[in-house]
């Protein structure tokens, strides 16, 4: 399948920006010894997380890392891209807590990491359970959100991005080449439940349907996307977009940084996807990032509690 050099996915982020929805992505390099952070701020209208990693590496003078290879996927026949969705659980709108905090709403992404031994142990647990690392990450994140941000634990809907780089012709690595589908996660789910739901959506090619629909700008242009976006912006409420960017090898020394520098990225979130997050395994260490959209009214202390609960949930499995 071919892919145009025009970033049709980026049109949606440009349209949202015109409506006041921030599309910044923070790419953060943190010296683990001193805590000093170097951030590269990019716009989602220009690139997705993978593309932004390459751009941010170049901006700080680092040798751009190799994009993680994956199995080449043959696009399914066109008719199979429009199958019915897998039968799944239904999620109600999130019932967020009302935060009466003394601090300003949290806007700066928080970041923390596991060490190599903890990361390896988490991989072993996932392998023993016959599930992906993403299944553990998403379930632990949802449980953390339920425990720290919601009135009570409840099923929640999460956007699950899918990298299309191994399925479409790539005009440039540094653009938006991701599709998505939505998953409902319950706090009482087990990792196997999440893994099965992910596999069912991939098998049903839901991400291919989203890919075609998101590229409607090919036919209606930016003005048409602007019009649609204005009418869809206040649609169904979700928890957030789960942003897991896989495993990377990075040569931080090439930029004059410490070899064990921590790195992760985090989007801005939005009023109907307020829990922004990022997860990456870099040089054998799992790095996590979290930012809460100001619409939640939660300050940095609340965001920190959520991040720590996320990490605690992961460590409980090892």
245 neighbors 265 (Cβ within 8 angstroms):
yes
**Residue 4 has what pLDDT?**
61
Q: Is residue 111 part of a domain?
A: yes
Q: What is the pLDDT of residues 212-247, one digit of tens each?
A: 888 999 999 999 999 999 988 777 899 999 999 999
pLDDT band at residue 209 under the 50/70/90 scheme? confident
Residue 313 vs residue 1, higher pLDDT: 313
For residues 154-179, average pLDDT:
88
CATH number of domain containing 206: 3.30.559.30
Per-residue pLDDT reduced to its tens digit, 11-58: 999 999 999 999 999 999 999 999 999 999 999 999 999 999 999 999
> Does residue 246 fall inside a structural domain?
yes
Whether residue 85 is contained in a domain is answered as no
What's the Rg (C-alpha) of the chain? 19
Per-residue DSSP letter, 78: G
> In total, how many domains does the chain have?
1
Q: Are 122 and 286 in contact (CB under 8 A)?
A: yes
**Joined tokens for residue 5:** 């050099």
Rama region for 23: left / alpha / beta (φ>0; ψ in -120 to 50; rest): alpha
d(CA 310, CA 307): 5
Indicate whether 80 belongs to any domain: no
* pLDDT confidence band for 1 (50 / 70 / 90): very low
**pLDDT attached to residue 76:** 60
Its domain, for residue 306, covers 8-67+92-315
pLDDT at 203 over 50: yes
Task: Please state, in angstroms and rounded to a whole number, the distance separating the CA atoms of residues 14 and 36.
Answer: 31
Residue 43: Cβ within 10 Å count: 15
Instruction: Grade residue 159 by pLDDT with cuts at 50, 70 and 90.
Output: very high
Position 277 confidence tier, pLDDT thresholds 50, 70, 90 = very high
Local structure of 7: helix, strand or coil: coil
* Mean pLDDT, residues 49-74: 89
pLDDT of 169 strictly over 80: no
In a domain, 83, yes or no: no
Output the pTM of the full model. 0.92
């Amino acid at each position: 399948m071919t892919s145009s050099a025009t970033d049709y996915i980026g049109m949606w982020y440009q349209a949202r920006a015109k409506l006041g929805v921030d599309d910044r992505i923070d790419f953060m390099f943190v010296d683990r010894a001193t805590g000093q952070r170097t951030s590269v701020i990019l716009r989602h209208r220009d690139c997705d997380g993978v593309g932004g990693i390459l751009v941010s590496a170049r901006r700080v003078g680092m040798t751009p890392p190799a994009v993680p290879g994956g199995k080449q996927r043959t696009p399914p026949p066109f008719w199979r891209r429009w199958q019915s969705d897998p039968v799944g659980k239904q999620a109600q709108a999130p019932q967020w807590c009302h935060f009466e905090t003394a601090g300003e709403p949290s806007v700066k992404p928080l970041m923390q990491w596991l060490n190599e031994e903890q990361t390896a142990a988490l991989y072993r647990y996932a392998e023993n359970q016959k599930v992906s690392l993403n299944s553990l990450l998403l379930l632990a994140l949802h449980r953390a959100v339920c425990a720290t941000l919601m009135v009570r634990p409840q099923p929640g809907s999460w956007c699950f991005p899918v990298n299309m780089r191994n399925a479409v012709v790539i005009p440039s690595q540094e653009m938006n080449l991701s599709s998505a589908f939505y998953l409902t996660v319950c706090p009482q789910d087990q990792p196997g439940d999440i893994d099965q739901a992910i596999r069912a959506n991939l098998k049903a090619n839901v991400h291919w349907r989203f890919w075609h629909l998101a590229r409607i700008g090919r036919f209606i242009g930016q003005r048409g996307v602007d019009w649609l976006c204005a009418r869809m912006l206040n649609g169904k409420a979700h928890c957030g977009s789960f942003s897991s960017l896989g495993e990377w090898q990075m040569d931080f020394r090439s930029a004059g940084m410490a070899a064990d520098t921590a790195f992760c990225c985090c989007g801005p979130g939005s009023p109907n996807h307020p829990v922004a997050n990022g997860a990456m395994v870099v040089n054998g260490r799992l790095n996590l990032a979290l930012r809460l959209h100001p619409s939640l009214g939660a300050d940095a202390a609340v965001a920190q509690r959520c991040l720590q609960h996320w990490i605690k949930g992961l460590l409980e499995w090892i």
